[in-house]
Each structure stands twice: as structure tokens, then as C-alpha cells.
Amino acid sequence: MVYYKTTAEIELIRKSCLLVSATLAEVANFLKPGITTRQVDILAEKFIRDHGAVPSFKNYKGFPFTCCISVNDAVVHGFPDNNELKEGDIVSVDVGAFMNGYHGDSAYTFAIGTIPDDVKKLLRVTKESLYKGVEKATVGNRVGDIAFAVQEHTERRHGYGVVRELVGHGLGKHLHEDPQVPNFGKRGTGLKMKEGLVIAIEPMINLGKKDVYYDTDGWTVRTKDGKPAAHYEHTVCVQKNKPDILSSFDDIEASEKANSNLDASYLSMV
């Protein structure tokens, strides 16, 4: 069942999304070598609750934390833990917030200090692929057009692995609604999108092969070849001419620019 949102509902979802974005910007300011991902999770939970919202993921199907925090070869759904982050790690933080009856959902992969050039490129290309998918979220296009755009840029153009087992999704009153939004597929297939469809577009892209496995905790998804993976996610509302991106990376990117020695090419958008 696909729910199309009213203008009032879209604005409430935007509020939840912008709180998630602000949470991720707090995380961006906080991350550095020596920090544990458990500390990141505590910070995020406090920030979300201090702003009158509830973490969407906590207790969702038994998930025990506020954030999914996935380091290096962990693709998504990682458990925050007491291991210290170190220079050269990448860390994907996925957060949801529930407020006024609606969820917001966004994710970002952060670099801890200087990371290898091939991993830096993985982050850049994965983020580019997110925007290439987002571009297709307009009335009359199909979900397969989004999927194709992401796969085209990451797998066919750069030879990365596109995770098949996990996909983006509709959201609103529920964290996961129809339709599923894969990061692979054929143009011109799938649901024809109408105005007011709100979807999370979230490429999960591996530096190496596409194959993944579940860790013994039953949640953490890791690459089989042990190579790093990136994950970026925006919540987007389908509109006539131009998609409306309800979450924002602006403050995260400003923080990255201020705090890191990343070069300009990493920060440039498509």
C-alpha cells in the first residue's frame, strides 16, 4: 500500500528529517580518533530527545540503539560499541527521528581524519549516486529510474558493488512503507511516482564486490571481501519538476569543511 502525503504531512516529515540532519551535524562535530561509537549513539539519542522527538530505530524490530553505526567493512545496521575510532576509519551513521506522528530518516558516511584515496573516492561516488537517484524522484518517473541511476553511476561507471539485500523505502507514519527503492534495476520499471510520495533513497555501495553477510549479532551487515562500504541517505518528496529533499547535508558538510583536511574534490557535489 503506497500512501501519498498531503502538504501538511510533508512539512511534518520535513521537521523530523531536519532534526535527523541536525543530529548528524552534531555527530560530525563530535567525531574524531579516540571516540567510541557508543559515545556517538548516546550523543545522538540525547540530542533527539532534547528536541522533543523519539529515536525511530530504538526498539524497532528489537534494534537496541538510536543509531546504526557501521565502521569500515560494516555496510549498515552496525551496533554502536566501545571500540575507539581511529585515523583512517570510515563510519556510516544512520539515524531516524519520530516527531508529531512522522518519521525522518537520513544517513551519512564520515571519514575519520585522513583516509586512503580509493576510500575517499568511494565516499564521493556514493554520495554522487545518491543525488543522481534523487534527481529521478519526479512525477511520472518510475522507481526503477532511481534504481538504475544509482547502479549506473556506482557499479557500471566505477566498478563498485551495489548491495542487493537492502533497499530504500517509503516512509511517513511508519519508518518503512511501500514502495521498496532498490539501488539496482531497470529503467522504466516499478511504481510510477505521483506527487506526495515520500521515499528514503539510500545507496549502500561496496568498494569491492557486492556480496554481504550478517554478523553474529544478527544485525550488522558486512562485506564478504572485508573491503569498506559507504552509505548515504536522504528522505525525498516526489514533486512535479524537481524533487524536494526533506533532509539536508548542509550543516554536516560545513562541519566537515571546518574540521577536516579533506580536499576540495571530496566536498564537491555533482
Nearer to Mg ion, 89 or 105 (CB): 105
Nearer to Mg ion, 178 or 225 (CB): 178
Nearer to Mg ion, 53 or 200 (CB): 200
- The minimum distance between CB 33 and Mg ion, in angstroms, equals 25
- The minimum distance between CB 233 and Mg ion, in angstroms, equals 5
- Asked if residue 22 lies in contact with residue 199, where contact means CB atoms within 8 angstroms, the answer is no
Coil/strand/helix, residue 105: strand
- Asked if residue 199 lies in contact with residue 244, where contact means CB atoms within 8 angstroms, the answer is no
Binding residues vs Mg ion (CB under 5 A):
94, 105, 107, 200, 233
Nearer to Mg ion, 22 or 121 (CB): 22
Nearer to Mg ion, 89 or 177 (CB): 177
d(CA 263, CA 234): 23
- Asked if residue 35 lies in contact with residue 85, where contact means CB atoms within 8 angstroms, the answer is yes
- The minimum distance between CB 252 and Mg ion, in angstroms, equals 14
- The minimum distance between CB 200 and Mg ion, in angstroms, equals 4
In degrees, to the nearest 5, what angle opens at C-alpha 204 toward C-alphas 50 and 10? 45
- The minimum distance between CB 16 and Mg ion, in angstroms, equals 12
